[in-house]
């Protein structure tokens, strides 16, 4: 989180851009379009068959305009498309990108544009990705609610909230995301809340807390087994809690899943055990 966000001068960005696009996401996607699809070398459109073919598809099938209204000059065409892209609602921007991808006849160009757009979508924390030539949601509303609920719950201690906040910040960093330590912070939040809710030594590992919960608390064994496996994952995979020995790397999807799961477990444990602790 930046200085201006920490001190309240600027509203912190949301973890996931689901029903909006900020300037960084819009500019990033447009840059993908002009570098991978809308580039041109000649001044007149009839000398750029690839670009002319795309323009015909856009004018007749997307904009539903007459073909004789297509600009003759490439720079005028691209400028017109840019004005449309920037003035359209966020969801129409995704329509526009999806249409261009679906109408690219060359497979390697289609694949290249998809890969570059997905890099921007991931970097700018969009809730969508391009899969099989379609823009699809990768984030459900309930996932976002789970994270926000844990961060805003006044009954959750400040230390646990700090771990979740750190996990969110490391996941959301658009310049240098730290997925490994985001996962570490997420599981530390669960470990922290367990140390508060489970009687005994306040520095217990999560593994010890789970063993004690199995004996003393009314929580279904399968849920505790699931939590135990998640804890084991953070010890075994990609050097999350210990040095990496398998050469594997964690990515955005790993870190997002762990933040959602750990936030949900924090909410669950507070609801299940908070009344009696």
Sorted by sequence, the CB contacts under 8 Å of residue 182 that are 6+ apart come out as 166, 167, 168, 170, 171, 255, 258, 259
Domain count across the chain:
2
Residues 152 and 267 placed together within one structural domain of the fold: yes
Question: Per the domain annotation, does 145 fall within a domain?
Answer: yes
Residues 208 and 268 placed together within one structural domain of the fold: yes
234, 241 contact by CB (below 8 A): yes
Last residue of a domain, one of 96, 119, 137: 137
CA–CA distance, 69 with 8 (Å, rounded to integer): 49
* Residue 179 phi, psi (nearest 5): -70, -40
Residues 158 and 230 placed together within one structural domain of the fold: yes
Q: Residue 215 is part of which domain span?
A: 141-276
Q: Which residues pair with 129 in a beta bridge?
A: 136
Average pLDDT over residues 71-87: 97
Last residue of a domain, one of 115, 137, 159: 137
Residues 31 and 113 placed together within one structural domain of the fold: yes
Average pLDDT over residues 96-113: 93
Question: Per the domain annotation, does 12 fall within a domain?
Answer: no
Question: Per the domain annotation, does 3 fall within a domain?
Answer: no
Give me the chain's average pLDDT, please.
86
Question: Per the domain annotation, does 261 fall within a domain?
Answer: yes
pLDDT for residue 53: 95
Residues 206-228 pLDDT 10s: 888 888 888 877 788 898 899 99
Q: Which residues pair with 73 in a beta bridge?
A: 44
Residues 183 and 268 placed together within one structural domain of the fold: yes
Question: Per the domain annotation, does 1 fall within a domain?
Answer: no
Last residue of a domain, one of 119, 137, 155: 137
Residues 157 and 71 placed together within one structural domain of the fold: no
Q: In the Cβ-directed half-sphere of 203, how many Cα atoms lie within 13 Å?
A: 0
pLDDT for residue 213: 84
pLDDT for residue 114: 94
The count of other CB atoms within 10 Å of the CB of residue 108 is 8
Question: Per the domain annotation, does 6 fall within a domain?
Answer: no
More confident residue, 71 or 220: 71
Residues 117 and 186 placed together within one structural domain of the fold: no
Question: Per the domain annotation, does 263 fall within a domain?
Answer: yes
Residues 185 and 82 placed together within one structural domain of the fold: no
Residues 117-126 pLDDT 10s: 999 998 898 9
Residues 219-263 pLDDT 10s: 888 988 999 998 888 877 655 655 554 556 888 888 888 998 999
The count of other CB atoms within 10 Å of the CB of residue 218 is 8
Question: Model pTM greater than 0.85?
Answer: no
Question: Per the domain annotation, does 107 fall within a domain?
Answer: yes
């Amino acid at each position: 989180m930046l200085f201006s966000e920490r001190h309240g001068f600027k509203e912190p960005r949301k973890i996931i851009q689901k029903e909006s696009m900020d300037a960084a996401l819009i500019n990033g996607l447009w840059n993908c379009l002009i570098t991978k699809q809308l580039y041109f070398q000649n001044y007149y459109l009839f000398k750029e068959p690839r670009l002319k073919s795309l323009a015909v598809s856009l004018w007749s099938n997307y904009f539903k305009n007459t073909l004789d209204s297509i600009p003759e000059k490439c720079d005028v065409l691209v400028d017109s498309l840019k004005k449309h892209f920037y003035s359209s609602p966020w969801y129409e921007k995704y329509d526009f990108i999806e249409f261009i991808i679906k109408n690219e006849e060359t497979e390697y160009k289609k694949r290249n544009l998809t890969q570059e757009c997905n890099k921007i979508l991931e970097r700018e924390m969009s809730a969508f990705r391009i899969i099989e030539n379609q823009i699809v949601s990768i984030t459900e509303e309930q996932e976002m609610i789970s994270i926000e609920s844990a961060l805003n719950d006044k009954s959750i201690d400040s230390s646990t909230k700090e771990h979740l906040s750190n996990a969110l910040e490391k996941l959301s960093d658009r310049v240098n995301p730290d997925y490994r330590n985001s996962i570490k912070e997420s599981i530390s939040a669960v470990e922290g809340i367990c140390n508060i809710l489970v009687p005994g030594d306040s520095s217990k590992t999560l593994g010890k807390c789970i063993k004690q919960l199995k004996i003393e608390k009314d929580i279904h064994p399968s849920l505790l087994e699931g939590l135990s496996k998640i804890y084991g994952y953070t010890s075994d995979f990609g050097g999350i809690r210990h040095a990496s020995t398998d050469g594997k790397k964690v990515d955005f999807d790993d870190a997002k899943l762990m933040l959602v799961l750990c936030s949900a477990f924090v909410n669950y444990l507070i609801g299940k055990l908070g009344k009696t602790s």
